[in-house]
Structure 1
Amino acid sequence: MSAGYPFAAPGRDTTREELVRSTAAKAAESLDLRLQVLERFGPSLVACAGAMAAAFRAGGTLLAFGNGGSSTDAQSVAQLFLTPGRGGRQLPAISLTGDSALLTALANDVHFDVVFARQLAALGRRGDIAVALSTSGGSANVLQGLQAARRAGMVTVGFAGSGGGRMAGEALADHLFVVPSSSVHRIQEAQTTLRHVLWELVQHELAGTGSDRAGSDRAGSDRAGSDRA
């Protein structure tokens, strides 16, 4: 506790005012970073949404993956596209971190570095969308997943933090969003905002295709889902 809240060190009395000031400072820092990345990546988000919308129109599926906290983020982004709630179009999406039996089998029988690459090779197809989530941009299994997705001809989208690590250095993603922070908490918060804005832009792109096109989009999505059933 004292690492994140130095004033709460053992033996030190912590006042309510200190807790309130600390929480307010963290909230302000998070908001400032979110606004900063939205301003920086505005045109890139629009371009990425256009590529993703085109992929969905052609019957593509989104496949998301990451480790640790980014694993739960992968599940969240897949759920967002798959069941967007009222007013959003349902789109085919899969989280590669949701099947614990498959993950542990690949990790145990082959190697943990390939847990995403093997799934992408088996489930992914040309024109699908691979969304890689990382705070460091350096996780070996995430990088191998992006490499496998690129070989398969998928649209690749990467989220990283700090300097972007190897994900940025090796230009592994067609669309890359690097949050300029070294704090894992702030990175993940800003990435969440970027992903939700990206989802809204994709929905906007698809909504502008017209009723006839929309019907074929849904048919393509249904076919994509049945192909993987």
Structure 2
Amino acid sequence: MDLKEIAVKQIQSSIATKQAVLDHLLPEIVKSGQLLAETLQKGNLVLFCGNGGSSCDASHIAAELVVRYKSGNERRALPAISLSADSAVMTAGGNDYGYEEVFARQVEAFGKEGDLLVGISTSGNSKNVISAVEKAKTLGMKTICFLGGDGGKLKGKSDLDLIVPSGETARIQESHILIGHILCSIVESELFQLH
């Protein structure tokens, strides 16, 4: 296979996955955007967590809320935190309580009833994201999970599941960031009438 064919196959696969997202996830995406907007409208906090590339997605989406999503959309900052962003907390938590608890410990510290946790896991089987969702539930927080494939062990544990219908990690991650951008766009539209 030549290099052009490799590139074309990747792009076509990405397009097909995003078409499947459009065909199968639109109602859940809109509901998730509304839940995110309602949470922020009430002055509550949004916490994001994930591992590896999903950690980067968590930080990316949190930054879009704190700073702004669309260039030129001047608005107030919104309260969002990526739970993997503090290396001291991550390493101390991993050392003292185990990596499975690094996010749950922070949910306990920062989360309260009315807040929202967004867990991101391409497989749906990330033990630390599962623990975070379970902890959030005990605090009366709402939860949204960005998942892939069959949803893994996280499927059905959150208030809303956004399961990208693909078994390919790269396609799932591409779709997760697309969904994250859509949610940020919904927030800016609902809270600030910005488009």
TM band (smaller chain): over 0.9
Overall identity of the aligned pairs, in %: 37
In the superposition, the TM-score normalised over structure 2's length comes to 0.93
SS at the partner of 2:191?
helix
Residue ranges of structure 2 left out of the alignment (5+ in a row)? none
Asked if the contact 1:61–1:93 (Cα under 8 Å) also holds between the matched residues in 2, the reply is yes
Shift of 1:88: 5.5
Whether the 8 Å CA contact 1:49–1:205 is kept in 2: the answer is: no
1:56 pairs with one of 22, 35, 40: 40
What pairs with 1:1-229 in structure 2 (closer than 5 Å)? 7=1, 18-84=2-68, 85-87=71-73, 89=75, 90-168=77-155, 171-207=156-192
> Counterparts of 1:43 and 1:69 in 2: how far apart (Å)?
25
> What is the aligned-residue RMSD (CA, Å)?
1.3
Q: Deviations over 1:11-59 (max 9, x none)?
A: xxxxxxx211210111111012112202311121221222221111111
User: CA offsets per residue over residues 53-81 of structure 1, 9 Å max, x none?
Assistant: 11111111111001111111111111111
Q: Verify the 8 A CA contact 2:20 2:165 in the aligned structure 1.
A: no
The alignment of Structure 1 onto Structure 2 pairs a total of residues equal to 190
Give the TM-score of the pair, scaled to structure 1. Answer: 0.80
Structure 1 residue 146 displacement after superposition: 0.5
Cα deviation for residue 114 of structure 1 reads 0.5
In structure 2, the residue corresponding to 1:53 is in which secondary structure? helix
Runs of 4+ aligned structure 1 residues displaced above 6 Å come to: none
Q: What is the CA-CA distance between 1:147 and the residue it aligns to?
A: 0.6
**1:115-141 deviation per Cα after TM superposition (whole angstroms, max 9, x unaligned):** 000100011111111010011001111
Letter in 1 for 2:186: L
Q: Structure 2 CA distance, aligned partners of 1:182 and 1:47?
A: 24
CA distance in 2, matches of 1:148, 1:155: 11
